[in-house]
Amino acid sequence: MTATLLDGKALAATIEASLRDEVDAVTTASGRPPRLVVVLVGDVAASASYVTAKARAAARVGIDAEVVRAPGSADTAALVGLVRGIARGDQGAVDGILVQLPLPRQVDTTAVLDAVPADLDVDGFHPENAGLLSQGRPRFIPCTAAGVQRLLVDAGIPTAGRRAVIVGRSDIVGKPLALLLASRGRGGDATVTLCHSHTQDLAEHCRSADILVAAVGQPGLITADMVRPGATVIDVGINRVEGSEGSRLVGDVDFAAVSAVAGAITPVPGGVGPLTVAMLLANTLLAAELRIGRR
């Protein structure tokens, strides 16, 4: 079997096109475009390229995005102060704030993320937004998790009553995705297993999955023998590996071997990544709509 490729890039372009009109409407109604501020700390090349991709995507749909840089030597207090200043509007009115992760080692990431007010938290990491998601009344859903669910819905892959196995339990990907797939309604109602580094018999859990999601950060972790024939495999992982022809990006899934077994699979790059960006734009639009009472 050769798996159907789930094209996240194409879906992200469709989502962007549908957001453009809504952004225009909000811009007209509120007298200014929705505004997103992205905080980039230090000079890690991968983070800088993600931030550039987010800012460019925002510009494409008419969202005003600004990148605020801080030095890699910044401490927790400085970054908390910076985020609070942005939230107060020191740099102009703002609808959404995103702090690009990871932050440097000396920084308390939770303290910095907590400085983003819940109503500007377009990444969906604030405890209030996490709580609303866990209670089944989401406001800002973490972008990658939302993107994976959207991809499944768009591809017509049923989730209700299906077994979904997620490998990776981070607060930003695995955990919110588990909540989403287990929630009631469209793109939900799955029976979810959440695996992590202490999981015993990982391969056995994975083989039970109708929908297998890898969100770990280990190239080649998911091999063909861990995948039930016909299963849907979503590869969230982004890993840079060195090869004979220089470095390239790969996911957590052994793509070549697994695509011969799976029914559908996401590529890396071009799978979940573009959807993460599209969902960020959707969350920023939502924040602006909530601000002016349109939602």
Q: How do beta strands 239-243 and 246-250 pair?
A: antiparallel
3 state SS of 7: coil
Question: Rounded to whole angstroms, how far apart are CA atoms 186 and 181?
Answer: 9
Is 283 a residue that touches ligand NDP (CB under 6 A)? Answer: no
> Is 273 among the residues that bind ligand NDP (CB under 6 A)?
yes
Contact with ligand NDP (CB under 6 A): which of 34, 124, 187, 237?
237
Check if the beta carbon of residue 116 is closer than 8 Å to that of residue 199.
no
User: Would you call 175 a catalytic residue per the annotation?
Assistant: no
148 to 207, contacts with ligand NDP by CB under 6 A? 167-170, 172-174, 195-199, 202
Rounded-to-integer distance, Cα 180 and Cα 83, Å: 28
Q: Where are the beta strands (DSSP E) in the chain?
A: 4-5, 35-41, 64-70, 96-99, 163-167, 191-195, 211-214, 232-235, 239-243, 246-250, 264-265
Taking only Cα atoms into account, the Rg of the chain, rounded to an integer number of angstroms, comes to 19
Considering the complex, what minimum distance in angstroms separates the CB of residue 176 from ligand NDP? 10
- Nearest approach in angstroms of CB 7 to ligand NDP is 14
In the complex with ligand NDP, which residue's Cβ is closer, 91 or 170?
170
| Interacting positions 116-155 with ligand NDP (CB under 6 A) | 144
Of the residues 216, 231, 265, 288, which one makes contact with ligand NDP according to CB under 6 A = 216
Catalytic residue from among 64, 95, 100, 235: 100
Site for ligand NDP in 217-236 (CB under 6 A): 217-218, 236
Q: Which residues, in sequence order, are CB contacts of 100 under 8 Å at separation 6+?
A: 38, 39, 40, 41, 47, 50, 51
Known catalytic residue at 43: no
For this structure, is 9 an active site residue? no
Per rule CB under 6 A, count of chain residues that contact ligand NDP: 25
Catalytic residue annotation: 54, 100, 123
